[in-house]
Amino acid sequence: MTDRADLLQGTLDLLVLKSLVLGPLHGWGISKRIRQLSSDVLQVNQGSLYPALYRLEDRGLLRSEWGVSPEGRRAKFYTLSAAGRKQFASEQAGWRHFAAAVEQVLEAT
Amino acid sequence: MREAFKRFRRGVRALVSRRALDREMDDEMRLHVELETEELVRAGMPPIEARRRARLAFGGVERFKEEARDGRGSYFLDRTLRELRLSLRSLRRNPGFAAVVVLTISLAIAASTATFALLERIVLRPLPYPASERIVQVTHDGAGSDMADMGLSSGAYLHYVERSGTFQALATYQETVLNLSSGMGSAERIHVTMAGPELFDVLGIHPVVGRAFTAADARGSFMNLNWTIPVVIGHELWQRRFGGDSAIVGRVIRVNDRPREVIGVLPPRLAFPEPRAQLWMLFIPEASRASMDGPGSSVVGRLRYGVTPATAEAELRALLPSIVGRFRDATAERLAEMRPTPRVTPLREIVVGEDAPVLWALFGGVLVLLLVAIMNVANLFLVRAGQRSREIAVRRAIGARSADVTRLFMTESAMLFLAGSIIGLMLANAALAMLVRASPIELPRLQEVRLDGWALAFAATVAILGTLACGAPGALRWRRDIPMDQPLRATGAVGLGRRGRRARAILVAAQLSLTLALLTCAGLMARSVAHLARVPLGFDEAGLLTVEIGLPYAKAGRYQAVYSGLLQRVRAIPGVGEAAMASDVPLSGIWGNSVPVFDVASGEGENVPRASLVFHSADYLDVMQTRVAEGAMATPGGSAVSHPVLVSAALSRRLFRGGESVGREIRRMDLDGELDPRQPSYTVVGVVEDVRQRSLSEAPAEVVYVPLIDPPVDPFIVPTEMTVVVRTTLAPESLVADVRRVIADYDASLSVARVRSMESMVAASSARSTFLALLLAGGSLTTLLIGAIGIWGMVGYAVRQRIAEVGLRLALGASTRSVTTLFLRDALAITLAGAAAGAVLSLVAGRVLRALLFMVSPTDPVTLLAATILLVVVGLLAGYLPARRAARVDPAAALKVE
C-alpha cells in the first residue's frame, strides 16, 4: 500500500464515523450524507466505501443489522459502537490538529 | 495473541460461510445501485441512463467484492488456499521433483524423529521419581577386592550412614527371586527386592494404599521370631493376585512359605530397581554382623538439596579411613589391600548406563543426516527457482509484488515439507513399533518409547526450519527487482557460483563418508549376528519347552521324590516325548552358583577355577541332545563309583590339561572358597561336550554336572529351583497350558515362573546384536538413499547448467558415451573422495563397536570392501541417471535454449 492510500483510507474512516454519529444509516445513506454534509465536494468512491465499512465492522467500531429503510427496502444498517464513538473522538481531534498544522504552514508564507 | 486468534477465527468463519456473506454483499451493493439510480431519476435523468451512471460510479462489482472480502479477514485464508492450488498444479507438472523432495524429507524426518524419540524417552526423560536428579548410587571401586561390582559392604554402608552429612537418606537393596503362594492362582516365582527401610524415602515414592516402611519397622529385629516382616507389593501384583482388594493392608501372605505382612501398595508402573520387581521386603543391615569386606548390597541415596555427586563422593572418600577399627575385619592392612574408592553416580546414569553415549552418537549422526538432507532439498529448490525465472518474471510483470513471490516459494516449500513430515512421522511410528517389538529386554525404558508430544514438536520444528531454509533461496533470489526483459527473453539459468558448487561437492562427499562408516558398522553387526546364529550351541533348541519351578522349603527334604513324580506326570502329557530337569539350563539368564573346584590329585594350588554346579535328572543330557564326549552318563543306581559327576569339556581342559578325565577325583569348596572337610570328593565318570550356557558370545561355561541320584552326590546342596525341559514334536508353546495345569494338579505348592521355548531363549540371547544390526542397517540405508539423492541432484544440476554446451558438443559429433562420462566423472570423483574419508571413519567407528562384535574384527577388510563397493555402485548409478539424460538430449533443442 502506498502512503497516499493510507491517508485516504484514514480520512474515509473518519467521514464514515462522523456520518454515523447522528444515527444508524445504510451504505447508500452514508455515501449520501457525506456528499450532503460536504456540499457535494466529497464524492465517496462507492468501491472503497464497502471495504471500509467491513473493515470498521471487523475492528469492532461499527455494528450492522438488517432492517427496513425509510424507502421501504430491506437494507443493512450500520451503527456506531461505543468503541466507534471513542475512535471518532480521537480521530476527529487528530484530524483537527493535523488540519490546523497544515493551515498554519500555509499561512506562514 | 488473542487478537490474532480472534481474527483467525473470524477469517475461518468468513471462509466457511463465504457463500452467505457473498449473498449479503450482493444484496447490499445491489441496493446501493438501485437507490443511486432512483436518486438520479428523481433528479430528472432517464432511468436507463441513470442505471448506467449508477453502475459506473460503483465500478466493477466483482472487483470491489474482492476488496470488501479483504476487509473481512477471509482474504488471507482465501489467498492461501488459492496459492496452495497453484502450487499443487505447478508441482503436478514436475512430479519427479516433488517425489524426490518428499521422499528425502520423509526419510530425514523419520530417521531424526525416531532417534529423537529414543533419546528423549530413554536418556533425557528424568526417572519417574520426585527430584530424581538427587538420587544417586553409591558403590566402591575396589582394585584389590573381588567385590568390585557388589555395591557397598554392610560395614561401609553403616559407616557412611552414621558419619555422612551430604545424604538425606541412604538405603540398601538387593534383588532376589522368591516363591509367592498367597492370593489367586497357584504358587508363583516373583522378583523381590530386599529393601532397606529408607528405600522409599530415598526414591520419594508414596504407596497408593497403606504406607511405606517406617523408622519403627527399622527397629524390628530378625532375631525376633514372632515378628512378621513387612512387605510392600507392586500395583500390578496387587491387581492380579489380590484382585485390587483395598483390605490388603495388614493381610499376611506367604513368601517362601514364611508369613509376611503387607503394609502398602506402590503406585502403578513404579518398580525398583527393575520393572520386573513386584514385592519389596524389609531388610535391615545388622550392625552386629556387619563387616568391612565381604558380601554387600547395592546402595542408593538421596543427596541433600544443593549437594552435587562430586561433593558427596569427596566426603565419603574423606570418611573412609575412619572405618578402621569399627568392624572385626576393618584393619588398616586390609583397607590398604582392598584400596576401595567410593563412587557416587546419578541413578539415571546407572539406569541408562552405556546406552546413553550410543544414543547420543546416533542422534548426532542423524542430525548431520538431517542437515545434509535439507541442504539437498534446498539445492533442488534453487535449481527449480532458476528454471522458473521466466515464470517469475511474467508474474512480476503483471503485478505480483515481491511478497507474493516469496509467498509462492514458501507455500510450495511448506506443502512439500508438510507431506514429507506426515509420511515421515508414519514411517517413524512404524520403525519405533518394530524396534520395540524386536528389542532386547536390556535396553532400559525401551518399552516406554513412543512418538509423544516432544517428538511431534521436534518434527514440527524440523519441518518449519526446513520450510524456511528451502523456501528462502528462491524467495531471496527474486526479492530484488530484476530487469524483466532478460529472463523474459531467455531461460538464463540462475546458478551457484564456483564457491557454492565446491561447498556443495564437499558436503555431498562428507555425507558419503558418513554413509560408508554407517554401512560398515551395519555390515559388522550383521556378520556378528550371522556368526551368533551359527555358534554350536551344544544342544538342540528345536522343540524344547522350558518351565522354571520352585520347591517350597518345607518339602526340600523330599526333593528327589517330588521331582521324579513331577517328571512322570509331565511325560504323560499327550505330545510330550521326553521330559527332564536341571537346576540351570543354557541361556536362561539365571546363573547358578559357581564354586571353586579343584583336581584332588594336583591339590588346591593357586588359581582354583570356579565352575557352575548343574544338578540334573538322569536323562537331562539326552533330552537336551547334548553329547557325552567321553565316558558315560551316570545312571541312577547303575554307577559303580560313589559320587559320580560329569564335567564339561572346557572344565576338563582346565583341570586335567588334556589328560585322561574319566576316573579322576575332584572336590568343590563352598561359595566363599572355604573347604568343608565333610564334603565328599566327586568322581568324574564322563566329559560332556561344551554348551553355550550363559550367552551365545561368551566362551563355553565350565560346568560340573551333578546327577540327582539316591544317595545324593552332594549331601549339602538341595536344588530348590529347577527348570523342567520338555521335548515335543509339537510347537512347544502349544503345551504351555497343559504343563502348567499338570504341575498345579500335581502339587499346588510348586511355584511356576517363566515358561519359554528354548528357541525364544536362543533368539533373546542374540537380541541385542540383532537390534543394533537392524538399527544400523535402517540408518545406513536411509543415509545411502539420501546420499544418492544428493549426487543425483548435483549431477542433474550440472547437466541443466551446461545443457547448451552439451548440445554444442553433440552437434559437433561428441558421442553419447563421452557426454555421459563428462558428467559421471564428477560423480565418481566425489564418491571416491567420500569413500576414502569414510574408510578412515569406518575404522574409528568399528573400534567403538568392538565390544558388541562377535568373531568379527572391527577392521574386517571384507566388510569394509563390500560397503565401499556398495557405496561406489550406488553413487555412480545416482550420477548415471541424469548424465544419461544429458547425453540423450536433442542437440537442436539444447542449442535453441540459449
Q: Which of B822, B826, B819, B817 is nearest to B790 (CA)?
A: B826
Question: Cβ contact (<8 Å) for A75 and B28?
Answer: yes
Report helix, strand or coil for B832: helix
B76 and chain A in contact, CB less than 8 A: no
Residue-wise pLDDT for B667-722, tens only, equals 888 766 678 888 888 989 889 999 988 888 777 888 999 998 877 888 888 888 89
| Mean pLDDT along residues B328-345 | 81
Q: Are B755 and B548 in contact, with CB atoms under 8 Å apart? A: yes
Contacts of A52 in chain B (CB under 8 A): 71
Q: What is the structure's pLDDT at B793? A: 80
A73 and chain B in contact, CB less than 8 A: yes
Q: Are B134 and B125 in contact, with CB atoms under 8 Å apart? A: no
Q: What is the structure's pLDDT at B500? A: 64
Of B35, B57, B67, the CB nearest to A51: B67
pLDDT classification of B370: cutoffs 50, 70, 90: confident
Residue-wise pLDDT for B208-260, tens only, equals 999 999 888 877 766 666 788 899 999 999 999 998 888 889 899 988 888 89
Highest mean pLDDT range out of A88-92, B294-298, B850-854? Answer: A88-92
Q: What is the structure's pLDDT at B146? A: 47
Q: What is the structure's pLDDT at A2? A: 33
| Mean pLDDT along residues B790-817 | 83
Q: What is the structure's pLDDT at B623? A: 92
Task: Give the DSSP per-residue string, B597-645.
Answer: EEETTT-S-S-PPEEEEEEE-TTHHHHHT--EEEE----TTT-SSSSEE
B306: burial class by Cβ within 10 Å (0-12, 13-18, 19+)?
Answer: exposed
Q: What is the structure's pLDDT at B72? A: 56
What residues contact B70, with CB distance under 8 A and at least 6 apart?
Answer: A51
| Mean pLDDT along residues B390-415 | 78
Exposure on the CB side of residue B442, measured as CA atoms within 13 A: 13
Q: What is the structure's pLDDT at B23? A: 77
Residue of A nearest to B24 (CA): A76
Of B34, B60, B64, the CB nearest to A50: B64
Residue-wise pLDDT for A71-82, tens only, equals 778 888 899 999
Residue of A nearest to B54 (CA): A46
B591 and chain A in contact, CB less than 8 A: no
Q: What is the structure's pLDDT at B450? A: 79
Residue-wise pLDDT for B862-875, tens only, equals 999 999 999 999 99
DSSP B855: S
Count of beta carbons in the 10 Å neighbourhood of residue B79: 15
Q: What is the structure's pLDDT at A7? A: 41
Q: Give the span between the Cα atoms of B475 and B854, in whole angstroms.
A: 53
Q: What is the structure's pLDDT at B171? A: 92
Highest mean pLDDT range out of A49-53, B372-376, B833-837, B882-886? Answer: B833-837
Q: What is the structure's pLDDT at B845? A: 82
Contacts of B73 in chain A (CB under 8 A): 58
The answer on pLDDT for B155 being more than 70 is yes
Q: What is the mean pLDDT of chain B?
A: 82
Cell 524396534 found at: B435
Contacts of A9 in chain B (CB under 8 A): none
A78 vs chain B: nearest CA distance in angstroms?
Answer: 12
Contacts of B67 in chain A (CB under 8 A): 47-48, 50-51
A45 and chain B in contact, CB less than 8 A: yes
A105: burial class by Cβ within 10 Å (0-12, 13-18, 19+)?
Answer: exposed
Q: Give the span between the Cα atoms of B62 and B159, in whole angstroms.
A: 90
The answer on pLDDT for B75 being more than 70 is no
Q: What is the structure's pLDDT at B565? A: 92
Q: What is the structure's pLDDT at B264? A: 93
A84 and chain B in contact, CB less than 8 A: no
Q: Are B718 and B663 in contact, with CB atoms under 8 Å apart? A: no
Beta bridge partners of B91: none
B68 vs chain A: nearest CA distance in angstroms?
Answer: 4
What residues contact B233, with CB distance under 8 A and at least 6 apart?
Answer: B242, B248, B262, B264, B265, B266, B278, B279, B280
Q: What is the structure's pLDDT at B557? A: 83
Question: Cβ contact (<8 Å) for A45 and B59?
Answer: yes
A16 and chain B in contact, CB less than 8 A: no
Highest mean pLDDT range out of B145-159, B182-196, B534-548, B783-797? Answer: B534-548
Question: Cβ contact (<8 Å) for B59 and A46?
Answer: yes
Q: What is the structure's pLDDT at B303? A: 92
The answer on pLDDT for B160 being more than 60 is yes
Work out the percent of chain B whose per-residue pLDDT is above 70.
87
A51 vs B279, higher pLDDT: B279
Of A27, A32, A51, the CB nearest to B28: A27
Cell of B723: 527348570
Question: Cβ contact (<8 Å) for A47 and B72?
Answer: no
CB burial string B817-849: b at 16+ within 10 A, e below: eebbebbbebbbebbbbbbebbbebbeebbeeb
Cis? peptide before B473, omega within 30° of 0: no
Work out the percent of chain B whose per-residue pLDDT is above 90.
18
Report helix, strand or coil for B269: coil
Of A58, A73, A74, the CB nearest to B10: A58
Q: Give the span between the Cα atoms of A92 and B439, in whole angstroms.
A: 74
Of B10, B27, B31, the CB nearest to A28: B31
Helices (H), B17-74: 18-42, 47-58, 61-72
DSSP B170: E
B800 vs B440, higher pLDDT: B800
Domain A3-107 has CATH 1.10.10.10: yes
pLDDT classification of A27: cutoffs 50, 70, 90: confident
Rg of the Cα trace of chain B?
Answer: 38
A89 vs chain B: nearest CA distance in angstroms?
Answer: 23
| Mean pLDDT along residues B542-553 | 88
Q: Which B positions 3-32 lie with beta carbon below 8 A of chain A?
A: 10, 24-25, 27-29, 31-32
Contacts of B60 in chain A (CB under 8 A): 47
Contacts of B38 in chain A (CB under 8 A): 71
B343-347, B470-474, B579-583: which range is least confident on average? B470-474
The answer on pLDDT for B166 being more than 70 is yes
A52 vs chain B: nearest CA distance in angstroms?
Answer: 7
Question: Cβ contact (<8 Å) for B32 and A46?
Answer: yes
pLDDT classification of B381: cutoffs 50, 70, 90: confident
Q: Give the span between the Cα atoms of B402 and B405, in whole angstroms.
A: 5
Residue of B nearest to A76 (CA): B28
* H/E element, B746: helix B736-746
Question: Cβ contact (<8 Å) for B58 and A47?
Answer: yes
Q: What is the structure's pLDDT at B147? A: 42
Residue of B nearest to A57 (CA): B72
Cell 541415596 found at: B301
Q: Give the span between the Cα atoms of B672 and B146, in whole angstroms.
A: 11
DSSP B701: P
User: What ipTM is given for this predicted complex?
Assistant: 0.79
Work out the percent of chain A whose per-residue pLDDT is above 90.
1
| Mean pLDDT along residues B491-517 | 71
Whole-angstrom CA distances from B184 to B131, B480, B755 are 37, 79, 19
Q: What is the structure's pLDDT at B267? A: 92
Contacts of B32 in chain A (CB under 8 A): 27-28, 31, 46
Q: Which of B441, B444, B346 is nearest to B118 (CA)?
A: B444
B349: burial class by Cβ within 10 Å (0-12, 13-18, 19+)?
Answer: middle
The answer on pLDDT for B523 being more than 80 is yes
A62-66, B597-601, B879-883, B890-894: which range is least confident on average? B890-894
